[in-house]
Amino acid sequence: MFLDKLLDWVYKKKCYFCRSSKEAVKMCSSCYEEMDFLPVKINRIVEGKKVYCAGIYSKNLQKLIRGLKYHKQRDLAYYLAKFMYEYFLKIGDIKDFEIVPVPIFPKREKIRKYNHMNLVGEEFARLSGGILNKTLIKRVKDTKPQYKLKRAQRLQNLQNAFKVESENYHGKTLLLIDDICTTGSTFEEIIKEFAKHGITDIICLAATTPFEDL
């Protein structure tokens, strides 16, 4: 930790958003505070499960997700986790939960060299004290990018895309986390797969949604 701080000071780490080196961090406090939270309410119900979305998909939050997801800015995982956790604290008293990041296909993870939501899950676990469970569900189908598809196409694209390893379930509430919830189809398919194994105690949390008023 000391060495990291020393290196940050020597090399003057710049904010990914405004390029300021004043705080020597990847996201300065001013840029973080510019991100807008959504009202704390259920954004939608998917297969009978509550879905919450933390923020508005614009400006710095949009750049944060894209940088983490596509541009190898791994350090940004902490800030996305912090944003999601600050929203999560306002939902209510949810105890004894396990954090389950939405998985990506192994080939895609190998190319990218990480699953960005696993990184977010690790940081969320540190902040919350919750247990991270990365082995409960796997992605077994290399699906097309969802943003190009309509809802019916999304559901077809995700059909049989996930496999549950039920021996890794510990009987706790599952907090299923993802970056963006557009139609809720990814959450829907995972919830259905969990239901096949009798796993039904699930809450979904996305960092953002393009649709604020659903």
Same domain, 148 and 75: yes
Residue range 196-206, pLDDT digits in tens: 999 999 999 99
Q: Is 214 helix (H, G, I), strand (E, B) or coil?
A: coil
Same domain, 118 and 76: yes
Same domain, 143 and 205: yes
d(CA 58, CA 39): 16
CB neighbour list of residue 191: distance below 8 Å, 6 or more residues apart: 46, 47, 49, 176, 202, 204
CB neighbour list of residue 163: distance below 8 Å, 6 or more residues apart: 137, 138, 140, 193
Same domain, 26 and 123: no
In a domain, 192, yes or no: yes
In a domain, 30, yes or no: yes
In a domain, 214, yes or no: no
Q: Whose structure tokens read 């939902």?
A: 91
Residue range 28-61, pLDDT digits in tens: 999 999 999 999 999 999 999 999 999 999 999 9
Parent domain of 30:
1-34
* β strands within 35-118, DSSP E: 44-46, 49-56, 97-101
CATH number, domain of 44, equals: 3.40.50
Q: Is 133 helix (H, G, I), strand (E, B) or coil?
A: coil
pTM confidence score: 0.90
Is the model more confident about 1 or about 162? Answer: 162
Same domain, 71 and 172: yes
Same domain, 127 and 162: yes
Please, are residues 87 and 55 in contact by the beta-carbon 8 Å criterion? yes
Percent of the chain with pLDDT over 70: 87
Confidence band for 148, pLDDT divided at 50, 70 and 90: low
Residue range 23-32, pLDDT digits in tens: 999 999 999 9
Please, are residues 187 and 194 in contact by the beta-carbon 8 Å criterion? no
